[in-house]
Structure 1
Amino acid sequence: MTDDDEAETRTFLYSERLAARGELPPGTLAGEYILEEFIARGGCGAVYSARHSRSGRRAAVKVLNEAVAHSPRVLERFAREIEVLRRISHPSIIEIYEVDKLDDHRPFYAMERLEGQTLDAFIRAETRLALRDVLELMEPVCAALGAAHAAGIIHRDVKASNIFICSSQPRTVKLLDFGIAKMLAPEESSTWLTTAGRMPGTPSIMAPEQILGGPIDARVDIYALGVLLHRMLVGRLPFHTHDTDEMVRKHLEEMPLPPSVRVPLPPELDAVVLRCMEKQRERRYSSVEELMRALGEAIGGPSSSVSSRPEPRMPAVAVYLEVRTRGGADELDDALVADIGQVLDLSEAQLARAGFILASITGNEVLGVRLLPSSAIEERRERRAALDAAAALHEMLVQRPDADARVHVNVCVHADEVQARPGPQPEITGGALMNAGQWAPPGEVHGVFATPSATAGLTSSTPADPTPVR
């Protein structure tokens, strides 16, 4: 076989693999754009990076999947997404460059290419956001929603993964995925379920009237913004369960706990979140503009939120708890969910009683922080107290009733700097200590893991074995 034959064979096999995955090969023409690389796949379409054939302008091209390209329902939804994006002109909503069909008649549209990360990824990295970040991110999202509402369009799926933070400076934020957006005009004959029999939307953020399939207006987006605010402020959703039916029940029947129950926050912020998430839409904010005014006042106004001055850095010690599941427990059954919830609840209560600030709480982690005094003797005493607290927490969790053998808990201690906003209840807003992924071990821990910075200068009676930081 010649080199040319081998190259042709490799190209053929590569194309076959792409076709098997339903991906278009590089070089495919989509109107005036040349596809370069597959980026991601959604519910009914795939997105590719592309360049304009003449100008070289970069773009992202969304192409309808071949498997659903003959479904009138899917075609209608795809066309509606394009219509919505073209109907709204706003800097925080993605711009459409071209709409056409491929040679195989599948529709596509080319849009501006974004570089950066989703708000979901940003929250996962930061755990919970500083108040100035919350305000700076909410402003463009609400402005985009205000433009959509003014154009008679409800988004219906405002969540962190549909908000994109561009890496360019100054920071630009884009509201994505109008795929299930609803026009405000009455649709008496429309059916509420999708072709798969599911409610359109994300159950963890949906307003009661949206869940029930009743008449909706822009206030379903305000409800979703309340859920988003809670997650940004606390680091977790207001309702946590892996059971869809239970999630739906909670949104229909339960009032969320005020965010300040989980983390130190001003009561004015509690009021904003809880009003957004009122079960009766008449009791919510009437518009995103009204919501933003209330949020700005609760946080302290634009002047405090946009200040570039960082929060003071202070030494602190943290006790970090991470829940892991064993035995390939990818599907969370009721027993597993109940035990994970028990571990998190016990840990929160124990750390709060021990005087730790609950700086981060997620669906499988709790991070408690205690600020350290300037006196060397007092500083060592506080670190020892933190190690004792971690040991007591570990012992309590080992002995918890009805423990599920599939649940393992890592308890770790580390000392480093945090950024903290001073006050009667200091607010932890960032710092190296908050990034547990950089200092906590990647594998299972038996006993209490303590870094050298946590045990420096302490006697050997410390209840944890120092382990070098990775």
Structure 2
Amino acid sequence: MYAAERLDGGGAVALKLMHPELSASPEAVARFEREVAATRRVRHPGVVEVYEQGRLADGRPWFTMERLEGVSLKEHLERRGRLPLREVLEILGPLCGALSAAHALSIVHRDVKPSNVFLVRAGGPAAEADAAAHRVVLLDFGVAKLLDLEGAGLTSSRHVIGSLSCMAPEQILGKAVDARTDVYALGVLVYQMLVGEMPFSGRTALALQQMHLYTAPRSPSLVAPLDPALNTPILRALAKEAAARQPSAGAFFAELVAAGVSRVGAQRRALAVLVEVHADEGALDEPDDGLLDDLEAVLPASAGALGRVGLRPSLETGTSVLLSAARPDDAALDVQLRAGVVEALAALWGRLAARPGRDARVHVRICLHAGVAEISAEGEMTGGDLMKLSSWVPEPGTEGVLASDAAVEGLRAGAAGAAGAVGEVEEVGEVGAVQGVRWLLLAPGQR
């Protein structure tokens, strides 16, 4: 790829020229020419415009297209990590529009991935961080399938076209592809943008293939602090059978938007964890460095550990942090979430007991409760009963890990329908009813 200037004064262009070693490969030449043909047919702001094409004296093909200034989505994600839902939708909308334009012309892209999505900088410092300041462009139609053209394709029984990280099962198996093949890749892309990791990752190509074919991806809200309502459209897009996916890119985008906005500000079932730390009475009158260091270490360590199971900080003070997560509507996923949180609390309590520099004057209490709250589309608790701590937090006194009966319902050892393989609650004792809430002691205070 070269930066060039048009001789007719038409301005700056990008010149794509085939490498000499590749020009001897009929398949590579076919792919190059396929990219030109497909790109020229799709007239859409989200697809790069091709100007001219030709061949050099040595037979190598070339074409010119508009020169784009900006960054790929791959680079953007490497800099930013997981993106907020608002930004994901700002990127996804134009991308789905470009794919819909291609699908209307019977063109299936077959290689939708972050490196093939380009964010064209509109100008100004904000453009680096704000997707709204970019024009979103879909690149590389080199492996696109033109369904309405006859002739040899780019695949054979021994060669699969596309990038394995985002490849639909039917591509892997060499079956017929259509718009729903690109919907699968969009599902992978959205999963990566919202969660911060791929739905599947294998150490070998064969392992990754098997995951795409046979492994169900984890629900996004169980991996990152997201509204569980987003699980449905994303997991539908990642269905193994094309017939179970959304029929088009536009339909996928519409479902994701609806899931993202339908419950904003609505009352949702949720879990809340309050981590509190305090020192012995009088210990802070003349504190030493060891005491202060230990006090300051507990809350960040707790928030970090609980964040890995989907709990997100909602309220922080100097001596406490409140974390929350929306509960899935699906009963099995709800049990999985609550059991995972209980296990995480037990593990956290063990680490806190053995933390380096632990000061005997520092005391910690962790309370787990289930109730209702207002949850944003990105999984943040913004209001509701769980934010009213005085309505459910026990009075000071009992130290350890406490859980309300509501939070561990169905998880207690021996209960009908207990979680079993995903974990059961083992009670150390019972605190009793406090603030109208029945509390159980899951881990005793540290000595």
TM-score by length of 1: 0.57
Partner Cα separation in structure 2 for residue 353 and residue 113 of structure 1: 43
The yes-or-no answer on 1:53 pairing with 2:7 is yes
- Alpha carbons of 1:91 and 1:70: their partners in 2 closer, same or farther (altered >3 Å)? same
The yes-or-no answer on 1:256 pairing with 2:210 is no
Partner Cα separation in structure 1 for residue 349 and residue 6 of structure 2: 57
- Pick from 321, 326, 351 the counterpart of residue 392 of structure 1: 351
1:358 shift after superposition: 6.0
1:257 shift after superposition: 0.8
Partner Cα separation in structure 1 for residue 15 and residue 183 of structure 2: 30
| Correspondences of 1:242-391 after superposition (within 5 Å) | 242-300=203-261, 354-356=305-307, 370=313, 373-374=316-317, 376=318, 378=320
- Alpha carbons of 1:369 and 1:188: their partners in 2 closer, same or farther (altered >3 Å)? same
User: Could you say which residue in structure 2 is the equivalent of 1:185?
Assistant: 148
Q: Does the 8 Å contact 1:146/1:288 carry over to 2?
A: yes
SS of residue matched to 2:316: coil
SS of residue matched to 1:199: coil
- Alpha carbons of 1:391 and 1:187: their partners in 2 closer, same or farther (altered >3 Å)? farther
1:275 shift after superposition: 0.5
- Alpha carbons of 1:390 and 1:230: their partners in 2 closer, same or farther (altered >3 Å)? farther
User: Could you say which residue in structure 1 is the equivalent of 2:138?
Assistant: 175
User: Could you say which residue in structure 2 is the equivalent of 1:89?
Assistant: 43
The yes-or-no answer on 1:135 pairing with 2:78 is no
- Alpha carbons of 1:356 and 1:292: their partners in 2 closer, same or farther (altered >3 Å)? closer
1:187 shift after superposition: 6.1
- Alpha carbons of 1:258 and 1:100: their partners in 2 closer, same or farther (altered >3 Å)? same
- Alpha carbons of 1:274 and 1:352: their partners in 2 closer, same or farther (altered >3 Å)? farther
- Alpha carbons of 1:231 and 1:378: their partners in 2 closer, same or farther (altered >3 Å)? closer
- Pick from 146, 160, 167 the counterpart of residue 199 of structure 1: 160
1:188 shift after superposition: 8.5
- Pick from 27, 32, 54 the counterpart of residue 73 of structure 1: 27
Residue deviations 1:406-464 (CA, integer Å, cap 9, x gap): xxxxxxxxxxxxxxxx95589589xxxxxxxxxxxxxxxxxxxxxxxxxxxxxxxxxxx
Residue deviations 1:46-71 (CA, integer Å, cap 9, x gap): x1111123416111110011012132
Amino acid in the other structure paired with 1:373: E
Partner Cα separation in structure 2 for residue 423 and residue 124 of structure 1: 31
Residue deviations 1:208-228 (CA, integer Å, cap 9, x gap): 111000111111000100101
| Correspondences of 1:216-231 after superposition (within 5 Å) | 216-231=177-192
- Pick from 151, 169, 174 the counterpart of residue 105 of structure 2: 151
User: Could you say which residue in structure 1 is the equivalent of 2:297?
Assistant: none
Taking only the aligned residue pairs, the percentage that are identical comes to: 38
1:355 shift after superposition: 3.5
User: Could you say which residue in structure 2 is the equivalent of 1:126?
Assistant: 80
The yes-or-no answer on 1:164 pairing with 2:118 is yes
User: Could you say which residue in structure 2 is the equivalent of 1:105?
Assistant: 59
Residue deviations 1:378-430 (CA, integer Å, cap 9, x gap): 58xxxxxxxx969939x89xxxxxxxxxxxxxxxxxxxxxxxxx95589589x
1:84 shift after superposition: 0.5
- Alpha carbons of 1:103 and 1:250: their partners in 2 closer, same or farther (altered >3 Å)? same
Q: Does the 8 Å contact 1:63/1:107 carry over to 2?
A: yes
Partner Cα separation in structure 2 for residue 207 and residue 370 of structure 1: 36
Structure 1 gaps of 5+ residues are: 1-46, 305-349, 360-367, 380-387, 397-421, 430-470
User: Could you say which residue in structure 2 is the equivalent of 1:237?
Assistant: 198
Partner Cα separation in structure 2 for residue 371 and residue 164 of structure 1: 34
| Correspondences of 1:404-419 after superposition (within 5 Å) | none
Structure 2 gaps of 5+ residues are: 124-132, 266-300, 322-346, 356-372, 381-447
Partner Cα separation in structure 2 for residue 240 and residue 82 of structure 1: 32
| Correspondences of 1:8-27 after superposition (within 5 Å) | none
Partner Cα separation in structure 1 for residue 188 and residue 150 of structure 2: 27
Partner Cα separation in structure 2 for residue 220 and residue 252 of structure 1: 13
1:80 shift after superposition: 1.2
SS of residue matched to 2:16: strand
1:122 shift after superposition: 1.0
Residue deviations 1:11-53 (CA, integer Å, cap 9, x gap): xxxxxxxxxxxxxxxxxxxxxxxxxxxxxxxxxxxx1111123
Q: Does the 8 Å contact 1:154/1:184 carry over to 2?
A: yes
Larger deviation, residues 264-273 vs 83-92: 264-273
- Alpha carbons of 1:352 and 1:193: their partners in 2 closer, same or farther (altered >3 Å)? farther
SS of residue matched to 1:66: coil
1:293 shift after superposition: 1.2
Partner Cα separation in structure 2 for residue 187 and residue 217 of structure 1: 16
- Alpha carbons of 1:92 and 1:190: their partners in 2 closer, same or farther (altered >3 Å)? closer
Amino acid in the other structure paired with 1:263: A
Partner Cα separation in structure 2 for residue 70 and residue 356 of structure 1: 53
Partner Cα separation in structure 1 for residue 28 and residue 316 of structure 2: 61
- Pick from 159, 170, 177 the counterpart of residue 209 of structure 1: 170
1:125 shift after superposition: 1.2
Partner Cα separation in structure 2 for residue 148 and residue 426 of structure 1: 30
User: Could you say which residue in structure 2 is the equivalent of 1:307?
Assistant: none
1:292 shift after superposition: 1.5
